[in-house]
Amino acid sequence: MKILALESSCDEMAAGVVQDGRKILSSVISSQVEEHKKYGGVVPEIASRRHCEDVLPVTEQALSEAGLTLSEIDAVAVTAGPGLIGALLVGVNFAKGLALAADKPLIPVHHIRGHIAANYLAHPELEPPFLCLVVSGGHSHIIDVEDYTRFRVIGRTRDDAAGEAYDKAARALGFPYPGGRYIDAAAAQGDPTAVRLPHPSVDGSRYDLSFSGLKTAVLNLCHQYRQKGEELPVNDISACFQQTVCEMLTDRLFAAAGELRRDTVVLAGGVAANSLLRRTTEALAAQKGLSCCLPPVPLCGDNAVMIGSQAYYEAKAGFFAKTDLNAVASLPVGEPFSGVFRR
């Protein structure tokens, strides 16, 4: 089954073709990062307008790189949420038009399910059940993937997402947006014990996360150095921040894996590109005798092939949408989109 997939939930317009959920036939990503950089974050209105310009050429390129015409595609898939509503609407409406015009089934895909599925493209042996840590600019979840289309949230952030915390700390340290990878690079040159940062936990919850206290601590630290007129130890603060975030994430992931008796842990989302998080997860998994899957770095950030992969499993489970499909800004990962029918 060859699925043409579209992703436009944030500042990337992407299209790709995936065969049987596991094989990438083409993957095209048009990123707007340079455009949003000057505002220090994504401007939703600009993202939607750029998606309108990009959606057709990006889709045409994805088909042409796969060596296929629209009539040779078996289904059209699209991220229908969660994300920026104006940005999502561009992909959703374009996908509905394509599906209708070409008389193809339409498969809506949840963005987080897509991030998890990025792993199926790189690890042919990976099958649910497994425990997945999804960490991106918009989400931080520990999810028990019971089956390809059955998900249970075990823990989540109560405030900022991990990527959001990275980006805000990076801004305070003087890095451009999105700052996660700059902190990652600076941390490699720093001493994680040179400064002290708090390890916030959430009262009454073993697996939930909170990053706002940590972010505020970094901001305060930066102010203190600047007020004293001292040079900011950017590398040391980066290293300490990164170490703290990794400890917070892996502590909860492995505690949950132990309690749920899952023998495989998986990372997903933009922050899964983080070098320390990858190293620590691999090392802890080996130490505890668990299998570990990491998405290849190019598949950690937003792309369309992860949507095409998950769409295959949604289709196998019989989940399709009609042209009344709407985009939604938020939706729990375990729930279906409104109007989805089973066939």
Nearest-5° angle of CA 114, CA 279, CA 305? 20
Joined tokens for residue 290: 């668990």
Q: Taking CB under 6 A as the rule, does residue 10 contact ligand KG4? A: yes
Contact 260, 131 (CB under 8 A): yes
Measured from the CB atom, the residue of 188 and 194 that comes closer to ligand KG4 is: 188
Q: Taking CB under 5 A as the rule, does residue 12 contact Zn ion? A: no
> Among 8, 136, 149, 210, which residue interacts with Zn ion (rule: CB under 5 A)?
136
Nearest-5° angle of CA 193, CA 137, CA 275? 45
Q: How far is the CB of 136 from ligand KG4 (least distance, A)?
A: 3
* 332 Cβ contact partners less than 8 Å away, ≥ 6 residues apart: 153
Q: Binding marks (x or -) toward ligand KG4, 263..302, rule CB under 6 A? A: ------xxx-xx--------------------------xx
Return the one option of ligand KG4, Zn ion, none that residue 119 interacts with (CB less than 5 to 8 A, by type).
none
**Stretch of 143-151, 173-181, 209-217, 249-257 lying at the interface with ligand KG4 (CB under 6 A):** 173-181
Instruction: Say how far apart CA 16 and CA 117 lie, in whole Å.
Output: 14
Q: Taking CB under 5 A as the rule, does residue 184 contact Zn ion? A: no
317, 107, 140, 133: CA torsion to nearest 10:
40
Measured from the CB atom, the residue of 136 and 281 that comes closer to Zn ion is: 136
Instruction: Give the count of residues interacting with ligand KG4 (CB under 6 A).
Output: 19
Residue showing the smallest CB distance to ligand KG4 in the complex:
270
Which of 156, 137, 332, 129 has the alpha carbon at shortest distance from 248?
Answer: 156
Measured from the CB atom, the residue of 81 and 137 that comes closer to ligand KG4 is: 137
Nearest-5° angle of CA 329, CA 39, CA 85? 10
> Beta-carbon neighbour count of residue 196 at 10 Å?
9
> Among 94, 130, 166, 175, which residue interacts with ligand KG4 (rule: CB under 6 A)?
166
Return the one option of ligand KG4, Zn ion, none that residue 184 interacts with (CB less than 5 to 8 A, by type).
ligand KG4
Instruction: Say how far apart CA 268 and CA 81 lie, in whole Å.
Output: 17
Contact 143, 151 (CB under 8 A): yes
Q: Taking CB under 5 A as the rule, does residue 302 contact Zn ion? A: yes
Q: Taking CB under 6 A as the rule, does residue 254 contact ligand KG4? A: no
Q: Taking CB under 6 A as the rule, does residue 243 contact ligand KG4? A: no
Distances (CA, A) of 40 to 33, 77, 83, 170: 10, 31, 18, 10
Q: Taking CB under 6 A as the rule, does residue 7 contact ligand KG4? A: no
Q: Taking CB under 5 A as the rule, does residue 238 contact Zn ion? A: no
Q: Is the peptide bond before 124 cis (omega within 30 degrees of 0)?
A: no
Q: Taking CB under 6 A as the rule, does residue 81 contact ligand KG4? A: no
Q: Is the peptide bond before 298 cis (omega within 30 degrees of 0)?
A: no
**Stretch of 17-25, 41-49, 123-131, 136-144 lying at the interface with ligand KG4 (CB under 6 A):** 136-144
Measured from the CB atom, the residue of 75 and 217 that comes closer to ligand KG4 is: 217
The residue ranges that bind Zn ion (CB under 5 A) are 136, 302
The residue ranges that bind ligand KG4 (CB under 6 A) are 10, 136-138, 163, 166-167, 178-181, 184, 269-271, 273-274, 301-302
